[in-house]
């Protein structure tokens, strides 16, 4: 734990915290977080994790920056339009904090490649915007015993929970299977207020930091919902289902599933 003078200054506000200190900052610098989705949730999460000094950050996204992204995806600038999102995020993190190693994955994850991608990371952040990806992330993290943060946003509302396999409910305990086609619109179809990604994404980053530091209470077996119009946070207790298809006592799901994304004609 031989910090340079620059590191001591950069992380001084962490180091003076009783629950972080030199040892905690060392944990952060020697930890790794994978962010799946470099959009409204993933970019604010990446920004604060990089600032906190997470030693290695992986960014997964196959898309390029579009002008419509800039309303909420805070690490992408007008000059990035047309560039790969993972490269845009990498460049901003490199400029923000050179202590951080950034690894980019400019492709979509599926049942054949996701295990290889997540295996070297301590914590996973689900910043995706579609149900097939969310179920895939939940299932592989349960199978591979990886802690992760789920979040979703739409219109003026958002939700998040943290899953630590073996310590409470997983995503399928709450949602056993993806919704049917034409039942749930996406942000592209229904819209989303831009600041929601920042609020929920930074909550996800907070959960990652707490998990790495082993401090505080995680949102395990709890769904935190946020209504921006009412300015209301609410915690809902979740129950681990013994008959859960993936984390129950006799799981039905033995292999990862690539669901197709349903279309909602809003």
Residues taking part in catalysis:
187
Angle between helix axes 195-213 and 42-52 (nearest 10 degrees) is 40
Helix (H) or strand (E) holding 198: helix 195-213
Helix (H) or strand (E) holding 126: strand 123-126
Helix (H) or strand (E) holding 157: strand 157-163
Which residues lie closer than 8 Å to 4 by C-beta, 6 or more apart? none
Among left, alpha and beta (phi > 0; psi -120 to 50; other), residue 82 is: left
The answer to whether 223 touches 240, Cβ cutoff 8 Å, is: no
φ, ψ at 261 (rounded to 5°)? -75, 125
Buried-state track 164-196, b at ≥16 Cβ within 10 A, e below 16:
bbeebbbbbbbeeebeeeeebebbeeeebbebb
The answer to whether 34 touches 45, Cβ cutoff 8 Å, is: no
């Amino acid at each position: 734990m031989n910090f340079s003078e620059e590191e001591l200054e950069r992380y001084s506000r962490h180091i003076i915290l009783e629950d972080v200190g030199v040892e905690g900052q060392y944990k952060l610098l020697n930890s790794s977080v994978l962010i799946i989705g470099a959009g409204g949730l993933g970019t604010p999460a990446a920004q604060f994790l990089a600032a906190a000094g997470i030693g290695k950050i992986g960014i997964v996204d196959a898309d390029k920056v579009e002008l419509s992204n800039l309303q909420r995806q805070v690490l992408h600038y007008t000059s990035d339009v047309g560039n790969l999102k993972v490269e845009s995020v990498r460049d901003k993190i490199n400029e923000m904090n050179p202590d951080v190693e950034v690894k980019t994955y400019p492709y979509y994850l599926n049942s054949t490649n996701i295990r290889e991608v997540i295996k070297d990371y301590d914590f996973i952040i689900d910043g995706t915007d579609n149900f097939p990806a969310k179920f895939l992330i939940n299932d592989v993290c349960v199978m591979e015993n990886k802690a992760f943060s789920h979040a979703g946003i739409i219109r003026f509302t958002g939700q998040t929970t943290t899953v630590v396999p073996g310590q409470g409910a997983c995503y399928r305990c709450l949602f056993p299977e993806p919704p049917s086609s034409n039942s749930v619109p996406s942000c592209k179809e229904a819209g989303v207020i831009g600041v929601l990604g920042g609020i929920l994404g930074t909550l996800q980053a907070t959960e990652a930091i707490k998990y790495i530091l082993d401090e505080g209470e995680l949102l395990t077996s709890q769904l935190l919902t946020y209504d921006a119009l009412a300015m209301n946070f609410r915690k809902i207790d979740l129950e681990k289902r013994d008959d859960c298809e993936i984390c129950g006592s006799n799981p039905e799901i033995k292999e990862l599933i690539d669901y197709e994304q349903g279309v909602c004609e809003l």
